[in-house]
Structure 1
């Protein structure tokens, strides 16, 4: 599932010249190949929550993979409008998976392994993205860009076949964890005594805490997504302008930012298992802030800052989505929280790259865009640290 949730929107970035030459897409249209899916991550979240409530998370995953596969095929066969239509379908379908996976993790994974499962999921998305980025251009040189971006649909088709087979074998019965989480029938109220009042007060306090944690995680994921997408979009050009790197060298350095995410995704659960999640989150917050501060204060060490920032972006995603199950009371809570957090975060992700580009054009330097990234990382730090500390209170 994770291999199909980011790689299909990364594949076109490796063959943009071929796509624009063959379809006549403008520079703005080419930007939509990656911008539209991220925008849909924000706009289509209500569709995902409705699907989970009506059909369940497993059926929603099947719909996701079927949509991604159909969009991948459509995008590779037509002129510019068809290419963009396939891109829209891919983005809408991926949104279903974005929301469904945290629900499945919360339901099926033992509580003490939620961070590890989330880390594996996050790391695999990054691995899939890197494999696609590295493999699409050589494949396009052999068979053309259309076949090259369609070929990655094989991975999605394999995932779809697996989930369909599981459904056919009836392996989607409620797990013990899900059954235990289901609310028991309410006992008849015998009185309105102190015990009943205390239970009502505890329930109200839990719901208040849940809403506060979700609000803080919205802030954290807005910062996480804005910092990640602004850096991904502009780091190669920033290094070319400020350090005089050739395109190949700046692109290779920017790829380190993506590769290092695997370390962060697995590092958070490992560190959290030996200390506490708030300590792991604090380490990630420091790493995130080190990226823009380092590029401003000591730009000659850009490779180090790219690596540290990569660790942060992989670990930040894991930290945020490891906190939700700590305060969610049921699967519906997870779906609602994930939809709100991701909807807001991906909207910030849509706005951050063009804002950073505008700041660069308006000022003629990369200082203000880096301050924008710094502000985003501080938003992540404040939101995530307050959320994790609040989630640990009993």
Structure 2
């Protein structure tokens, strides 16, 4: 682990850290909730505007596809406009898209959905860049955990609150009201961007792990010379391993999210309402995994949390196959795994990247390819269920995805640690 140097820049970043954490949480609340919001009231939307089943599926599937397709453009926006401007663009897009989606007919609803997906793609990329730039080495995992937890809290709030709101004020207002979260974040980040001292990177200067163990190391200046080609190759290799891991993470997460309620209804005889409530544990338990990763990282080598999360991930499909009656326990274990997996991957991104530009490139590649895998997972799992008439094949698909996460994540963590040794 690298050690921070007591520079003026370091003190500036440390004083700014609480404001950054609040800002990251406010952004995160708007990065998943707008996608989840239509799902509890989809039948009301269909009945009111004649939305077809295919179009209804696009309300949740289209944003995830845009995460994959729009990431190169999102990365370019961040490089040209800067992280703060990218955050403002993201939140403004979510707000505008949310309002448009609540206004009109099927084409208007889908246009709003496209705007939301494109805006969230920018937010997905820029948050790890800001964490890498403004958070000290030792706190990267904790702040990433707070970001992951807020993503899931945003999903939970909208999933639980949209239906009651729709019953009170109608589905259009129920969807539009969640734009207030984006508006709050927009106001906050506008103020935070104006207070930022200068346009240059202010991440704390860092020295290698050897210095923390007592060896004499020359303090680095405000700038560092270009890294040798061997280091560039190592960072690139870690980035591809993280991409491989995130493909497994995203495919497993979206497949389970899409089909766990139906699986429980089919295999356990639960009503859709009861199975949906049980499956919601998968989302809520993510907070446990998100904050468990930094606790383990502080006490163990960086590969240990990844291996532990991988073991939890693998337990979910195996548990549902061999002991389906314990589905509540498996949902909680799988939820902890998905929250911890996201935190682990993007903590390594923030720790490994040597500049904001490199962090944006790694984050864009990881999420672009990973979310493309995510768009394949749910329809493939559904197709396997239809073809086989059961849930064994879909669960084996999830098992394969969790093994991909585990292998890629451990190799990336070991490579990251070896490079700092």
Instruction: Check the 8 A contact 2:133/2:202 in 1, yes or no.
Output: no
Could you say which residue in structure 1 is the equivalent of 2:93?
A: 67
Q: Secondary structure at the match of 1:216?
A: helix
Q: Which residue of 2 aligns with 1:37?
A: 63
Partner residue in 2 for 1:122: 148
Residue 109 (structure 1) aligned with residue 135 (structure 2)? yes
Question: Unpaired runs of 5+ in structure 1?
Answer: 187-199
**Deviation for aligned residue 1:183:** 7.7
1:177-216 aligned within 5 A: 177=203, 184=223, 203-216=228-241
Q: Tell me if structure 1 keeps the 8 A contact 2:140–2:351.
A: no
RMSD: 1.6
Match of 2:287 in 1: 262
Mapping of 1:294-309 within 5 angstroms? 294-309=319-334
Alignment gaps of 5+ in structure 2: 1-26, 207-219
| Deviation digits for residues 37-94 of structure 1 (CA, Å, limit 9, x no counterpart) | 0000000001111111111011000000000000000000010100000000000000
Which residue, out of 158, 167, 177, partners 1:141?
167
- What residue is the counterpart of 1:191 in the other structure? none
After TM superposition, which residue ranges in structure 1, 4 or more long, deviate above 2 angstroms? 166-176, 178-186
Partner of 2:258: 233
Alignment of 1:1-394 (within 5 A): 1-171=27-197, 173-174=199-200, 176-177=202-203, 184=223, 203-394=228-419
- Measure the CA separation in 2 of the matches of 1:291 and 1:385: 19
Q: CA deviation at 1:175?
A: 5.3
Relative to the length of structure 2, the TM-score reads 0.88
| TM-score (normalizing by structure 1) | 0.94
Structure 1 residue 173, shift from structure 2 partner: 4.5
1:44 is paired with a residue whose SS is: helix
CA distance in 2 between partners of 1:303 and 1:233 (Å): 17
Structure 1 residue 178, shift from structure 2 partner: 6.6
* Partners of 2:288 and 2:221 in 1: CA distance: 36
Counterpart Cα distance in 1 of 2:364 and 2:40: 30
Count of residues in Structure 1 that have an aligned counterpart in Structure 2: 380
Q: Which residue of 1 aligns with 2:15?
A: none
C-alpha deviation, 1:184, in angstroms: 3.7
Aligned in 2, Cα 1:50/1:98: closer, same or farther, shift over 3 Å? same
Kindly provide the CA deviation profile for residues 217-246 of structure 1, in whole angstroms up to 9, marking residues without a partner as x.
111000000000000000000011111111
Q: Could you tell me whether the CA contact under 8 Å between 1:69 and 1:156 is conserved in 2?
A: yes
CA contact (8 A) 2:381 2:394 kept: yes
Alignment check: 8 A CA contact 1:265 1:311 kept: yes
SS in 2 for 1:274: coil
